[in-house]
Copies of this chain bind each other. A is one copy, B any other.
Amino acid sequence: MQDKSSKNIEKKPCLYLFPVPLSAGDVRAVLPEINIQIVSEIKYFVVENIRSARRFLKKCNSDIDIDSLTFFELNRHTAAEEIAGFLEPMAAGNSMGVISEAGCPAVADPGADVVGIAQNRGYKVVPLVGPSSILMSLMGSGFNGQSFAFLGYLPVNNEARLKKWKIIEQNIVRFDQTQIFIETPYRNNKIIAEMTKVLSASIKLCIASDITGENESIITHSIAEWRKRQYDYDKVPTIFLLYK
């Protein structure tokens, strides 16, 4: 396989972006074998959480000598000045890896800052294939995949969020654009209830929960239909998609 793959370990230092499974189970169910091969060769990592990164690496390959690795922790507590120093091993010729908590680094997850610095310095950045709940929910929704927007979290402030629903409805029509967003899992039911109240009956809502997990479910109905349905998505990682 090595000689056929385009993802052989490069000779010049690269910043590899490693997706991480979204749910329990064998990493090989959601990651290509090449990811495991590359991650096994890297000694320096920028990670969202050291403990979970170690756990991920052990699951990838139990032969990895975790104690020989260097980890730099990148999360919302990390100062901007500190991040610039993280890539010093690359200046010395070493490839590095970015590992987030779940899903794809730098997409709805920390990592974009460190990738931006690598881009500024002219380092080669190599994203690898892996699970993205945003992309997989879009695939499964039946909604427009030629035009879509991911909005992250909606405003917490009630008034601001009510305004946001208006913009979302406008953008669905104006840009013919699927609108995708997430919510803090313990507020999932609340936000669904709000949507069934404030959105037009004909708008379609896809609720995608526990993507790649044992209880994965991706269900699309009109708001009118969701009004009549029983649901309970609280505390389950869930993505919401809206389209006409």
Q: Which residues from chain A sit less than 8 Å from chain B, CB to CB?
A: 1, 4-7, 17, 23-26, 28-34, 104-109, 111-113, 115-120, 124-132, 134-152, 175, 177, 206, 211-214, 216-220
Residues in B neighbouring A132, C-beta threshold 8 A: 132, 135
A59 to B24, CA, bound (A): 29
CB pair B119–A141 under 8 Å, yes or no, is yes
> Copy number in this complex?
2
CB pair B147–A212 under 8 Å, yes or no, is no
Choice from B24, B146, B177 contacting A108 with Cβ under 8 Å: B146
Residues in B neighbouring A107, C-beta threshold 8 A: 135, 138-139, 145
Q: What are 8 A-B contacts defined by CB distance under 8 Å?
A: A1-B28, A28-B32, A108-B145, A109-B145, A115-B140, A119-B141, A124-B217, A148-B150
A17 to B134, CA, bound (A): 15
The winner among A23, A130, A217 for most chain B CB atoms within 10 A is A130
Choice from B152, B214, B219 contacting A146 with Cβ under 8 Å: B152
Given contacts A17-B139, A127-B136, 11 further A-B contacts (CB under 8 A): A5-B29, A17-B140, A28-B32, A29-B33, A104-B145, A108-B146, A117-B142, A120-B142, A127-B140, A146-B152, A149-B175
Question: Closest 8 A-B residue pairs measured CB to CB?
Answer: A116-B142, A127-B139, A107-B145, A5-B29, A149-B149, A115-B142, A119-B220, A146-B152
Known: A126-B140, A126-B216, A130-B129. A29 touches B32 (CB 8 A): yes
CB pair A145–B111 under 8 Å, yes or no, is yes
Known: A1-B26, A6-B212, A214-B6. A125 touches B140 (CB 8 A): yes
A31 to B218, CA, bound (A): 21
CB pair A112–B25 under 8 Å, yes or no, is no
CB pair B1–A23 under 8 Å, yes or no, is no
A206 to B149, CA, bound (A): 18
CB pair B145–A136 under 8 Å, yes or no, is no
CB pair A129–B129 under 8 Å, yes or no, is yes
Choice from B29, B105, B135 contacting A7 with Cβ under 8 Å: B29
Residues in B neighbouring A137, C-beta threshold 8 A: 127
Nearest chain B CB to A152's CB is how many angstroms away?
Answer: 4
Nearest chain B CB to A153's CB is how many angstroms away?
Answer: 8
